[in-house]
Amino acid sequence: MNMVDMILKKKEGKALSPEEIRFFARGAADGSVPDYQLAALLMAICWQGMTAEETACLTMEMMHSGSVVDLSAIDGVCVDKHSTGGVGDTTTLVLVPLAAACGAKVAKLSGRGLGHTGGTLDKLESIPGCSISVSQADFIRQVQEIGCAVIGQTQDLCPADKALYALRDVTGTVGSIPLIASSIVSKKLASGAGAIVLDVKTGSGALMQTVEESIELAKAMVEIGAQAGKPILALVTGMDQPLGTHVGNALEVKEAIDILSGRAKGDLLTVSLELGSRMLVACGVAKDVEDGKARMTQALESGAGLKKLREMIEAQGGDGRVCEELAYLPHAAYKISVPALASGYVAKMDTTAIGYCAQGLGAGRREKTDVIDPAVGLVMDVRLGDYIAEGDSLATLYLNKPELAKDAVAKMQQAITITKQQIELPPLIYAAVSQDGVTR
Of the listed 22, 187, 188, 201, which one is catalytic?
187
Q: How far apart are the first and last CA of the chain?
A: 44
Task: Respond yes or no: is residue 288 known to be catalytic.
Answer: no
Distance CA(286)–CA(209), nearest Å, equals 32
Given the residues 82, 108, 188, 295, select the one marked as catalytic. Answer: 82
In DSSP terms, 200 is beta-bridged to 236
CB 215 within 8 A of CB 58: no
- 229, 185 contact by CB (below 8 A): no
CA max distance for the chain:
66
Nearest in space to 355 (alpha carbons), one of 408, 401, 302? 408
243 CB contacts (<8 Å, ≥6 apart)?
86, 87, 88, 89, 90, 91, 237, 267, 268, 271
Residue 337 phi, psi (nearest 5): -85, 150
Catalytic residue among 80, 89, 122, 161: 161
Candidates 225, 154, 228, 158; CA nearest to 196 is 225
Annotated catalytic residue 64: no
DSSP tag of 208:
B
168 annotated active-site: yes
Q: Decide if 331 is catalytic.
A: no
Catalytic residue among 168, 201, 278, 295: 168
Q: Which of 126, 183, 204, 214 is catalytic?
A: 183
DSSP 338-392: EE-SS-EEEEEE-HHHHHHHHIIIIIS-SSTTPPP-TT-EEEE---TT-EE-TTS
112 counts as catalytic = no
Query: What's the rounded Cα separation, in Å, for the pair 317 and 216?
Result: 40
Catalytic residue set: 82, 161, 168, 183, 187
